[in-house]
A = this chain, B = another copy of it.
């Protein structure tokens, strides 16, 4: 048996090298999707994959597929995640999934191991949704959840569209998004929560993803002079928004497994001596059970109606995305379980509390995910951290799971 152990050092070096692209003073990364920094890291990834003999194709949502040939020309087993980050993101969210996949491929390449199916490393565009909402927009189009033209017309807060941004960095490819078929998809990711670390487990065998819904709310009152407008005559959009923020928090706390977040809040006109006339905000509601989100949505809407009528504000809420809970593929999950065991890592089953590209891909291909612990459960923060050994464990289990699934495919196709 050839040595199929991934190189922990090499993976770590890749993580630290890519972390320089968009590095922040506090040790994190600001590499928003489809910016010039994103282009730089994409170019790097392309060059690395080509050096292994991969053919790199780009679809018309900018997603990159680096293909390593197998014995049979069947749909590939894909591994990957995303290289974009939050505005104050960490070094591991997304990057680990792409670079662990690259490292797994390097290990196969170095060993001269020939898989039955082709193997691919995928970099999905705009997983974060920080610049263009909704998140996971490219895997969403890939899975038929969103329309491509709608996705390309999504604008950032500066008015630039997703499509224009794709063209600007030269990553609108010729492949029609969704035409590319996969035999399976595996994604390594940091847990972004506290459970693996608390229980001292090396690996999370991810069985599914909780349900998630995003909303945009616009609250309209009246801009007036802060010195001359008596308190009872005001229609203060920010006071209304403050009550909505409080309602989201209070409502989420009523359900033990739910979370609710207002992440963006913009005030117009934004002057110290003007009573704000308009506020735009986003809401993110999640729970493993979608009916809990229904209840939260109704409760928040009822509270917002009261706020609006009391303060004389117009409040308009739009649902931007609504993702049901996801159950990953039983065979893929079994491959991850077996891979953790054969690699000698402690593991537990876990439900992902965050959305991931894997959640959308699971609609069109057998899919599973592998979690590794991260320090204090902190993510979407510059202090996000997983150790070299934790990252390596994720990459090793990924490689083993892909090889296990490849053997299943070979049996299935009757090698």
Report A's interface with B, CB cutoff 8 A: 86-88, 128-130, 133, 135, 191-194, 210, 212, 214, 222-231, 233, 236, 238-239, 241-243, 245-246, 249, 252-253, 258-277, 282, 284, 286, 353-355, 377-382
Q: Which of B239, B261, B273 is within 8 Å of A273, CB to CB?
A: B261
A273 and B135 contact, Cβ closer than 8 Å, known pairs A241-B242, A242-B246, A265-B265:
yes
Q: Which 5 A-B pairs have the closest CB atoms?
A: A226-B261, A242-B242, A193-B228, A227-B354, A242-B245
Contact in complex: A274, B265 (CB < 8 Å):
no
Contact in complex: A227, B210 (CB < 8 Å):
yes
Contact in complex: A381, B224 (CB < 8 Å):
yes
> Which of A224, A241, A379 counts the most B-chain CB atoms under 10 A from its CB?
A224
Contact in complex: B264, A227 (CB < 8 Å):
no
Q: Which residues of chain B come closer than 8 Å to A272, judged between CB atoms?
A: 129-130, 133, 135, 214, 261, 263-264, 282, 284
Min Cβ gap A404→B in Å is 28
Closest to A239 in B: B249
> Which of A194, A264, A277, A286 counts the most B-chain CB atoms under 10 A from its CB?
A264
Q: Which residues of chain B come closer than 8 Å to A226, judged between CB atoms?
A: 259, 261, 263, 284, 286, 380
Closest to A192 in B: B228
A259 and B229 contact, Cβ closer than 8 Å, known pairs A224-B378, A265-B238, A380-B274:
yes
Min Cβ gap A239→B in Å is 5
Q: How far is the CA of A217 from the CA of B387 in the complex (A)?
A: 37
Q: How far is the CA of A188 from the CA of B275 in the complex (A)?
A: 23
